[in-house]
Chain A
Amino acid sequence: MAAVHGDAHGHEHDDHHPSGIMRWITTTNHKDIGTMYLWFSFAMFLTGGTLALGIRAELFQPGIQILQPELFNQFTTLHGLIMVFGAIMPAFVGFANWQVPLMIGAPDMAFARMNNWSFWLLIPAATLLVSSFFLPGGAAAGGWTFYPPLSTQGGLGVDFMIFAVHILGASSIMGSINIITTILNMRAPGMTLMKMPMFVWTWLITAYLLVLVMPVLAGTVTMLLTDRHFGTSFFNAAGGGDPVMFQHIFWFFGHPEVYIMILPSFGIVSEVIPTFSRKPLFGYSSMVYATASIAILSCVVWAHHMFTAGMPAVGQLFFMYATMLIAVPTGVKVFNWTATMWRGSMSFETPMLFSIGFIFLFVIGGFSGVICAIVPIDIQVQDTYYVIAHFHYVLVSGSLFALFAGAYYWIPKWTGRMYNETLGKAHFWLSMFFFNLTFFVQHFLGLAGMPRRIPDYNLQFADFNMISSIGAFGFGMTQLLFLYVMINCIRSGEKAPQKPWDGATTLEWTHLPTPAPYHSFEKPPVVQ
């Protein structure tokens, strides 16, 4: 993957610093590090996307054509791991790096050197993950959730994955410590907590969630590692352990993880919608409380991933009620966004389109989430394509669309240049169309009884799988358009004014020139 990261280094032009590759290796500037995070995550997004296209190519028709079952399982596993840990999470950290200091009026992140380390840790982790395909026995093939005993069966690929997860975990924890400290200690005078932009709020809560659950994941994979190699029996029934315990500990991490990937996107959308509605965010404080309650609730719902593992009825009912409860603060957010748009003076530039697309599709994903929360129905749809459709609606049209919205929204501030609006809109509409083509039909597949993670299927599932595969390839190609729009913007976009969005109110637009200077807010601004 090193070659792909190489691309990331091509486009900058700052002068008063070591130049060439050394600038990027040694940099402690939050903007440089943010840029590297974003390019890294985009490279991983393309890698994970390629794996996804491999999966969809195999599923284009019934029968085994392209990927043998072993390899197919490796593809699904690595697709999940790379997208979650390599693409979505680092992308949000990249946004945090760029935007948190700019939005709270801080000169840089609190621990600049640690910031550099937390980025550079990602490279060995990604290398471990991707290179594991070339090991004897191949990459890990037990699913991104790596349930034992299946994952104890795997070869060296599983160990590579465990180490990669360790490194990524360490990177995330360092990143979160940095973000929390920056937000709590380095706000400009006058910026009280309840005056912070929503994006900063959501990241503060997300960072706390990360510090809360990433160490638990590290513990889990360590247990798995010692079970595999050092004779412990945490998850092995023969030694008095219990494989179901792994699922409990994993999902204790895994469910908050889902919100780690969605809360910052709530933040981005909460910045974009008021800007393009030219109207303040409706219910700011209820948004903050809703975010916090989602984060707290997310820690007590983990076992809804395990309804079929066999749990007492009381347990199932508790986790069902708790899960359903999350719909309430999430609903509040959607209502607040709608109320923000209501009687605004809206315009529909690309960031706004992606934000509205986000709300529209995220709500569909939310509904299927409520349906999955109902234990009896979940028993039917768990581990089927219905669940695949559900979480791609919240992670692709949720997190990813919000990331696109954020990228289009802030790229003028970052580069000093405007992107091509026509192409941006084309990117949105194509993404919207192909996304739904890919994933909407998967609801039907799941309901009709197609399990997930299978390389081949009965003929009754053939037509929807074909539609889905066509959609997936369309969606994949569309993202190359995004790459083109971004490069085009960086290279030859029109000059952007200080505040290209007339409705924007946060510090980076009101107090900084465009592009944001390499060192910004060395004297903190005063917030009224």
Chain B
Amino acid sequence: MRSKSAVTLAGVSALALYSSMAVGSKYNLPEPQSVIAKDIYDQHIVLLWICLVIFVGVFGVMFYSVLKHRKSLGYKAANFHHSTAVEIIWTVIPCLILVAMAYPATKTVIAMKDTSSPDMTIKATGYQWMWGYDYLQGEGEGISFYSKLSTPRAQVENKAPKGENYLLEVDNRVVVPVGKKVRIILTANDVIHAWWVPSLGIKQDAIPGFIRDTWFTADKPGIYRGQCAELCGKDHGFMPIVVEVMEASEYSKWVAQQGASAIKTSMHVEN
């Protein structure tokens, strides 16, 4: 028996160590950069705590029982097999907990769906395997470009050392101004793709022949990276999304630059 409890102790402490690692941001959702992402982040933390409390409660009881109510300790089995009162209690309490979980989520869902009154609209088109962007409305209207993975093939084939943004870097970033409500319209050219930027809290499938929309407002200037999140064939893992958020004045400069640049590609020319 001694060796068994030693094993148990070792197991429990290993588990504790394992979960204590889960403090750094590497173990959680990325730092939120928009109101919605912040909501999601906070709700996830709350839910984790609720789950942890229930987990400790249920398995506290179960493992107490496992340790104490053993045949090897000579424990004699009781013979009860139902109790309506107890069963009603443990049906009702989870319902209440679920209501408490659903309430904030409902508010966030409604906020996420509210794509009205955007300051600007950008269309993202999924291709096998890159993204196309058209600035449809707002400052920068008419800008249009493709955005492809810029990681050199040699890095993928392990012939060159991998950079910090390996597989998360593109030739042309989507540039947007900070603090403005950006509406993203999505469609796809061939198969279903999904446009996902974790730190902005947005993910939406891009479906060929149909448009869908979503929105975000970035809180801070910065570069936010994401990836295609719907299996779209061979290079599904190689079509990242990079959003660069700029101060308004910087953004205006960028727009002017784009207008001046002669090598404006048109989205509507098919190869």
Contact = CB atoms under 8 A, between A and B. Distances in A.
Interface in A109-147: 141-143, 147
Interface in B152-196: 155-158, 162, 164-168, 190-192, 194, 196
B234 A382 contact: no
Nearest to A456: B237
Contacts of A321: 102
Contacts of A370: 47, 51, 98, 101
A277 B77 contact: yes
B78 A70 contact: no
Interface in A32-66: 62-65
A458 B192 contact: no
A155 interface: no
A379 B203 CA distance: 6
Contact of B168 (A147, A338, A458): A458
A282 B44 contact: no
B2 interface: no
Contact of A308 (B78, B106, B229, B234): B229
A65 B162 CA distance: 14
A62 B51 contact: no
A58 to B, nearest CB: 11
B250 to A, nearest CB: 26
Nearest to A440: B18
A377 B40 contact: yes
Given A150-B191, A458-B166, A309 B205 contact: yes
B47 A374 contact: yes
B26 to A, nearest CB: 6
Contacts of A356: 62, 66
Interface in B40-93: 40, 43-44, 47-48, 51, 54-55, 58-59, 61-62, 65-66, 69-72, 75-83, 86-87, 90-91
Contact of B94 (A62, A328, A339): A328
A313 B86 CA distance: 37
Contact of B40 (A309, A328, A376, A453): A376
Interface string A314-339: 00110011001101100110110011
Contacts of B235: 69
Contacts of A451: 196, 227-229, 236-237
B158 A334 contact: no
A317 B236 contact: no
Interface residues of B, number: 91
A459 B109 contact: no
B209 A238 contact: yes
A325 B98 contact: yes
Interface stretch (A183-191, A441-449, A490-498): A441-449
A345 B168 contact: no
A300 to B, nearest CB: 16
A345 B65 contact: no
A211 interface: no
B90 A335 contact: yes
Given A63-B158, A344-B69, A367-B55, A380 B234 contact: no
Given A328-B94, A334-B58, A347-B72, A383 B230 contact: yes
A283 B207 contact: no
B109 A244 contact: no
Contact of A320 (B48, B102, B167, B168): B102
Given A321-B102, A379-B112, A242 B210 contact: yes
Given A328-B95, A459-B162, A63 B203 contact: no
A456 B82 CA distance: 52
A42 B80 CA distance: 38
A280 B48 CA distance: 34
Most buried by A among B26, B112, B157, B164: B26
Interface in A478-526: none
A371 B55 CA distance: 14
Contact of A317 (B94, B106, B202, B233): B106
B208 interface: yes
Contacts of B66: 341, 346, 348, 356
B229 A384 contact: yes
A308 to B, nearest CB: 5
A12 B82 CA distance: 43
A93 B231 CA distance: 32
Given A62-B166, A379-B203, A283 B87 contact: yes
A460 to B, nearest CB: 7
A285 B164 CA distance: 58
Contacts of B226: 449
Nearest to B90: A335
Nearest to B110: A313
A382 B54 CA distance: 24
Interface in A61-102: 62-65, 69-70, 73
B105 interface: yes
Nearest to A460: B26
B118 interface: no
Given A447-B28, A451-B196, A375 B105 contact: yes
A344 B71 CA distance: 8
A69 B106 contact: no
Contacts of B191: 149-150, 153
Contacts of A285: 82
Contacts of A303: none
Contacts of A332: 87, 90-91
B143 interface: no
Contacts of B124: none
Given A380-B198, A457-B167, A338 B112 contact: no
B36 A376 contact: yes
A382 B195 CA distance: 12
B203 A382 contact: yes
B109 A346 contact: no
B30 interface: yes
A343 B77 contact: yes
A485 to B, nearest CB: 20
A455 interface: yes
Most buried by B among A320, A363, A383: A383
A363 B52 CA distance: 11
Contacts of A360: 59
A281 interface: yes
A243 interface: yes
B29 interface: yes
A326 to B, nearest CB: 10
Nearest to A356: B66
Nearest to B232: A150
Given A280-B81, A458-B165, A347 B196 contact: no
5 contacts: A70-B234, A283-B82, A310-B205, A313-B113, A320-B102
Interface of B: 18, 22, 26-30, 36, 39-40, 43-44, 47-48, 51, 54-55, 58-59, 61-62, 65-66, 69-72, 75-83, 86-87, 90-91, 94-95, 98, 101-102, 105-106, 108-110, 112-113, 155-158, 162, 164-168, 190-192, 194, 196, 198, 201-205, 207-210, 212, 226-238
Counting from the closest, the 3 A-B pairs by CB-CB distance are A237-B209, A454-B237, A310-B212
